[in-house]
Structure 1
Amino acid sequence: MCIGIPMQIRAIDDRVALCGEKEHQEIVDISLLGDLREGDWVLVYKGAAREHLPAERAGQILQALQALAAIREGQGFEHFFADLIEREPQLPEHLRTPK
């Protein structure tokens, strides 16, 4: 299984970008995507950026990954999904019964 990791672009040089934080930086191929700038978020699979992400979506994915790490370590994870705790699940529009 391949999991995409959100990474923030720190510097760009032609078709590659330096992404990540000080403790974990990686050179990422950005040739599949169009106009990118420093500070943008991308979804990275095996060293290649495949999708340009809004910062909010990148944060949601990072929280889900942190929750998986917490579960693996036997820690609580509910706080990573605070936006879902008090919400009733909603069916997508196309699956709802017509009124």
Structure 2
Amino acid sequence: MPTDMRALQDFEEEDKLQIQMNDVITIIEGRAEHYWWRGQNRRTLRVGQFPRHVVTSVAGLSAQDISQPLKHSFIHTGHGDTDPHRSWGHADRIDR
């Protein structure tokens, strides 16, 4: 089942999907680690690529979107965000 996302901002770039804030975008291809996603703008019905950071979940975050804490630990290993300037830490290793 395709996922719908809501635009957080306008996006206009040549040869890319044109998006206005609050447009709903149906995701065709997109992985969290990829910058460019492919989707269909439900307002215009056009299909194209757009940067992942301009959209967010229509439904908001659920418990499944939040990682579980490390067993027997209070260590917060990192924080991921669609804005790379607000991300920190490394989930694959823990600083001593």
TM-score by length of 1: 0.29
Q: Bigger radius of gyration, 1 or 2?
A: 1
TM-score by length of 2: 0.30
